Homo-oligomer: A and B are copies of this chain.
Amino acid sequence: MAGHGARGRSGGRPTLEEVAARAGVGRGTVSRVINGSPRVSDATRAAVEAAVAELGYVPNTAARALAANRTDAIALVVPEPETRFFAEPYFSDMLRGVGAALSDTEMQLLLIFAGSDRERQRLAQYLAAHRVDGVLLVSVHADDPLPDLLAQLEIPAVISGPRSAEETLTSVDSDNYGGARSAVEHLIARGRHRIAHITGRLDVYGAQRRIDGYREALRDAGHVVDEQLIEAGDFTEEGGRRAMTRLLARCPDLDAVFAASDVTAAGARQVLREAGRRIPEDVALVGYDDSAIARHMDPPLTSVRQPIEEMGRRMIDLLLTEIADRRPAVSRGLERRQVVLATELVGRASS
């Protein structure tokens, strides 16, 4: 192990002090320049910047964090209890948006897995120790205690997909209601009359909103909502198969299915095929997410696209704002910030 003194002063990383000496100014002044304080004369600033460039100075994050009591890091918490949650585009697209928004800042992105109980335990410690300035929460379930822990610790946090209509945390979401509406309206426009819906997990707020959108689109078009045509799913393929089987048994006359996710649609497709129904001739099929599966399905699946990358970007924007305000939205009282982004229907051969 490198001893204390052995730490390479042999041309090693320069310190603030060295930059100050080089520029012929004091330590404080260099600090001000580095941190963009306006209270520095132009001449001094230029001299310091030159010294910084010559020495290739890069601030020591640890020292800064220690002195300033902040970390310049935000955590992306990946629940990942039901494994490989991020296999689908959702995660990677969001990550791309997050990365893009972050690249304009000095913030680091920490990936924290909170699948097992032990990992959640560690996460709680992490947060309690204030090792991050803010937290990004994705795909949180209604009964997850994490958001409340964050609120209690007064750690800025943004959640993707509010847990309910009363979500207190700042949230970014896509318009699940509108997305579902557009899917159903599309099917109606195609002349379908018996449109079924395979829902997502009912404890997920977004799934509820999609059901709402389904219902109201039908109602607004003058259709009667037949509860027999609604069957609970869970976003999975297997759930799609089960739901589709039940739906076919109950309503053999259905002529369209709107599934709450692409994988669910894939499961439904399989059952429809086995039952001898042609897609889209006999039954039109629409999914949700516009994932890779949708493009590669046979026939290619009409699906609702969410602007996930944009969601990632907005989450970061909001989080940085909260961090700058140094106080979570709840304790500021008043305005809960909820951003809802529009979806887009991507038409393909399945409908």
| Contact of B95 with A92 in the complex, beta carbons under 8 Å | no
A96: CB under 8 A from chain B? Answer: yes
| Contact of B66 with A60 in the complex, beta carbons under 8 Å | yes
A221: CB under 8 A from chain B? Answer: no
Q: Give the distance in Å from the alpha carbon of A112 to the alpha carbon of B103 in the complex.
A: 9
Considering only CB atoms, which chain B residue lies closest to A122 in the complex?
A: B103
A152: CB under 8 A from chain B? Answer: no
| Contact of B80 with A84 in the complex, beta carbons under 8 Å | no
A28: CB under 8 A from chain B? Answer: no
Given A86-B95, A95-B111, A103-B116, CB of A131 within 8 Å of CB of B292: no
Given A2-B69, A86-B95, CB of A129 within 8 Å of CB of B60: yes
| Contact of B95 with A292 in the complex, beta carbons under 8 Å | no
Contact mask for chain A residues 123-167; partner B; CB cutoff 8 A; 1 contact, 0 none: 001001111000000000000000000000000000000000000
A99: CB under 8 A from chain B? Answer: yes
| Contact of A296 with B266 in the complex, beta carbons under 8 Å | yes
Contact-residue size bin, chain A (C-beta under 8 Å from the other chain): 35 or more
Contact mask for chain A residues 82-108; partner B; CB cutoff 8 A; 1 contact, 0 none: 011011110111011001001100001
Given A110-B109, A111-B111, CB of A131 within 8 Å of CB of B297: no
Residues of chain B contacted by A110 (CB below 8 angstroms): 108-111
Given A63-B66, A119-B103, A130-B13, CB of A92 within 8 Å of CB of B93: no
Nearest Cβ distance between residue A11 and chain B, in whole angstroms? Answer: 12
Nearest Cβ distance between residue A66 and chain B, in whole angstroms? Answer: 4
Q: Give the distance in Å from the alpha carbon of A69 to the alpha carbon of B119 in the complex.
A: 26
Residues of chain B contacted by A99 (CB below 8 angstroms): 78, 80, 111, 113, 115
Q: Give the distance in Å from the alpha carbon of A60 to the alpha carbon of B293 in the complex.
A: 45
Q: Give the distance in Å from the alpha carbon of A266 to the alpha carbon of B130 in the complex.
A: 47
Given A62-B71, A296-B266, CB of A129 within 8 Å of CB of B13: yes
Residues of chain B contacted by A296 (CB below 8 angstroms): 266, 293, 296-297
Residues of chain B contacted by A2 (CB below 8 angstroms): 69, 326
Q: Give the distance in Å from the alpha carbon of A62 to the alpha carbon of B131 in the complex.
A: 8
A-B contact pairs, 21 of them (CB 8 A): A2-B326, A58-B129, A59-B129, A60-B129, A62-B62, A62-B63, A62-B71, A63-B66, A65-B65, A84-B89, A84-B92, A86-B92, A87-B89, A91-B92, A95-B111, A99-B115, A102-B113, A103-B113, A293-B296, A297-B298, A298-B298
